Chain A
């Protein structure tokens, strides 16, 4: 017989309290004990998204948590995703698809109801099919100036009266005040839902902390359920801007230098995690107009607002620097929005991306892009189309070699003149197709693709980097590390570290109350 389904929610006193990584750890801890576990986050604000098997778009943190729980990511795990487009504009993704009825609902004034029902439906389904749902909150639940319901925090907790653990980081001080203040600002009903406190990122003398723990328990009448150490040296994708720091490269005299152009509304910079984990390359985010001739590879990433960010590239002078670098023979790669920018023209009649209706691209690829109202979101499998060009560009691959990735875009790309596609899409959301993706220039040193996650393919990443290494006479061919295995190892290490510091059975019991 199936156990009673448990739910457990983790909320934080601020956005960097450590909620997301803690939920990831719990997912792995419970799942490897054989408990059927799923993550859930009702409302996520992020520009880093992932596409599920069914072609639905969700926040990337839940994709990693799902993986920690040995599960495929599904849209129910993250039903509402909000993508900021700058100037107060947002795109709302409901159940994995852009909500086009939002204005209609706003007029009818029932849009809050739509959100509520979406969240309730998803959570209901997850509870039905699983033994344990670990829910992640967002920011602080005590932002008393908010005018709309706090969907991500107490609204979600209330649906099934899920017990809430409040986590706070002690690293910078003021942890006690934040926990006490948060509880104080919650309504009595919400306060009652909080069943325990967690102190995160602790380092130092536990004896000095002991009186604080006792005080907290006496004063708040809540149990301090864990004191977690500062977790360091973990190599896991992060969703927030912390991951924009330079990577831990090893600065040998011979190393590859990769520039990622930091567009104002850059999205899916999680694409570069797998590159950052390589030890002989230095990956830097470039946002000011700089000379790029020193780099071995320049990547233009995806963006939420392609036309606006392309305008930024031109005005900042970076567009000219990129072209100059390409003329000097430096490889340029465009991913998604970056791919579109490499073409000749970008046309946005409906204003999907912003106010600019038409803008010229960098002209490095012979393609045009039109933006549509419809968003394409699929997991895809691709094969190489232009074998000869591909060999010149990167390396010889078998025509049977399959790469995986996912598409998230609102533009459709036309191939001009003789231009042919670089990849053939053979499967989209698990359905057999025969479609085009990507393009390469004549000189064979600039290409683009809609595929997010392209660099996570070990063979592709290896071959690309070896090509660059050869150009720098960096010696023998190297086989790249195994990205998927590395992530798995890190998830286990994380789970081990957390499990040592918390009473898992107690949490399980609490979740089933």
Chain B
């Protein structure tokens, strides 16, 4: 049976996710087969595993740091908010149903069983589990609803490391207060503390470390500096609205409707040096971009309504007429069509809505959710991606809608849906307009494919009459790898690993 350790935080931005990823990479470097785990995640950014199960992006990133294949047991419960008080609940990678908070918590016994089983499965297959908590473990008003902090630690029998953010002050109070509000049993489970985001030389905080140890009775495993150079996907919110430097040549706008999902699809543009990436919510912010992307959406109909109300729709149509490049991904692809219907009222009362009509397609929403990794063959309908090398692109589908093409509308891609690495079914996907400047697809992570992303960027540069940059850029995978290794190196430098290992193995 695998050993385990859990990273909890004093607040939601204490740095749990990143430190869990760092620890995953350190452990794999030291020869342990490691899996990340978070019992319950609330996020609109999700990933599809090899088996076709939907999980949170944060655990996918941690799995990548641990150099293992992401699997559904690592993120057995995913809550995708669809309204203020309503989420789509994904259990073991499959849609359960839309639920209000109270109804969800009424299912606690069932949820605990799922968490228990997921942990048991992981423990069989791995040497070590790195668990991540959520928010603060001492929210006493939510104690009976806890599934993600001490409850998960208890099930996994994991010692807990508490991470506290020192950047804004109040670090002593947040640690002492958190421990104080835990029950005796929970408090005992906390075996160590990490102070995170220290600006300056962490050695300067020595007296602070001694005081934390004195007041908390817990060992401080280290003081991590503020890491500015990281470039990893952020799981739950956008940190900025604009990415990129001043010397960009290509301006890319992503329409940030309220239900925007899988915005991590566009992370790969953030590191490309010619690009400025902007997330735009208002018509007046749109400007004159080279590319407008309509991203995925958890609530396609209401987000399409948002496009009309905000008048962004008119601008997008106008830009399309001016030959600006427009791309729709998943829900955004559906919006580019002539019509979206929801005969079963899956998203709400409205059964029909007119699309932007830039593509001759129409979509019917259905309760069946397609969640599959796909291998993609281009049908050479995109001008910029003739794909002479016949490269196979990769990505994944997550959608509850079926899109029908008009007779004269040609598909873009052949999707080979995979299940556990085997071909399950081949379908056609995507559409492009006659002029070639508006197209859409269901494929998430399509821009992760280096050859595809580069072809698109080169196409945009050429269209603007700009020269191509011949200097080779690092691939998306290389950039990720560099980040994981940098994180691990910093973790080793500042954290007392010997004590941490002792906590894990002596538990």
Chain A residues in the interface with B (C-beta under 8 A) = 12-17, 139-140, 142-145, 147, 172-174, 176-182, 184-185, 205, 208-212, 215, 246, 249-253, 255, 259, 279, 284, 286, 288, 290-292, 294
Contact = CB atoms under 8 A, between A and B. Distances in A.
B100 to A, nearest CB: 10
Given A173-B12, A182-B177, A251-B284, A145 B172 contact: yes
B31 interface: no
A168 B28 CA distance: 39
A16, A177, A291 — most chain B CB neighbours (10 Å): A177
B246 A178 contact: no
A291 B241 contact: no
B141 interface: yes
Interface string B153-178: 00000000000000011101111111
5 contacts: A15-B168, A143-B172, A174-B135, A176-B136, A181-B176
A14 B170 CA distance: 5
A215 B177 CA distance: 14
Given A174-B135, A208-B142, A290-B247, A181 B11 contact: no
Contacts of B215: 144, 185
A286 B246 contact: yes
Contact of B177 (A177, A210, A255): A177
A252 B177 contact: no
Interface stretch (B60-68, B285-293, B364-372, B475-483): B285-293
Contact of B211 (A14, A145, A290): A145
Nearest to B251: A251
B14, B168, B205 — most chain A CB neighbours (10 Å): B168
Contacts of B13: 172
Contact of B169 (A14, A144, A147, A291): A14
Nearest to A212: B141
Contacts of A212: 139-141
A377 B176 CA distance: 44
B277 to A, nearest CB: 13
B287 A253 contact: yes
Contact of A185 (B11, B85, B173, B288): B173
A185 B176 contact: yes
Contact of A294 (B138, B242, B246, B280): B246
B499 interface: no
A177 B169 contact: no
A202 to B, nearest CB: 13
B207 interface: yes
B139 A173 contact: yes
Contacts of B11: 172-174
B284 A250 contact: yes
Interface in B344-378: none
Contacts of B142: 208
Nearest to A259: B246
Given A14-B168, A208-B142, 9 more contacts: A16-B168, A139-B169, A140-B169, A145-B208, A173-B136, A182-B173, A210-B141, A288-B245, A294-B246
Contacts of B175: 181
Contacts of B85: 205
B288 A253 contact: yes
Given A139-B169, A142-B172, A246-B241, A180 B287 contact: no
A178 B139 contact: no
A293 to B, nearest CB: 10
B10 interface: yes
A139 B172 CA distance: 12
Interface of B: 9-14, 85, 101, 135-136, 138-142, 168-170, 172-178, 180-181, 205, 207-208, 211, 215, 241-242, 245-247, 280, 282, 284-288
Nearest to B136: A174
Contacts of A211: 140-141
Contacts of A182: 170, 173, 177
A176 B138 contact: yes
Contacts of B180: 177, 180-181, 184
Contacts of B288: 253
B207 A145 contact: yes
A177 B246 contact: no
Contacts of A210: 141
Contacts of A184: 173, 176-177, 180
B12 A251 contact: no
B286 A251 contact: yes
B170 A178 contact: yes
A318 to B, nearest CB: 11
A210 B140 CA distance: 11
A181, A184, A252 — most chain B CB neighbours (10 Å): A181
B169, B177, B181, B241 — most chain A CB neighbours (10 Å): B177
A288 B101 CA distance: 46
A185 to B, nearest CB: 6
B186 to A, nearest CB: 13
Contact of B138 (A177, A255, A288): A177
B138 A143 contact: no
Nearest to B245: A290
Given A144-B211, A173-B136, A174-B136, A185 B141 contact: no
A211 B139 CA distance: 10
Contacts of B9: 174
Contact of A174 (B10, B245, B286): B10
Contacts of A178: 10, 170, 173-174, 177
Contacts of A179: 177
Nearest to A139: B169
A127 to B, nearest CB: 28
B211 A174 contact: no
B395 to A, nearest CB: 30
Closest 3 CB pairs of A and B: A181-B177, A181-B173, A14-B170
B289 to A, nearest CB: 9
A284 B276 CA distance: 14
Given A246-B242, A292-B246, A177 B284 contact: no
A143 B169 contact: yes
B378 to A, nearest CB: 33
A174 B174 contact: yes
Nearest to B286: A251
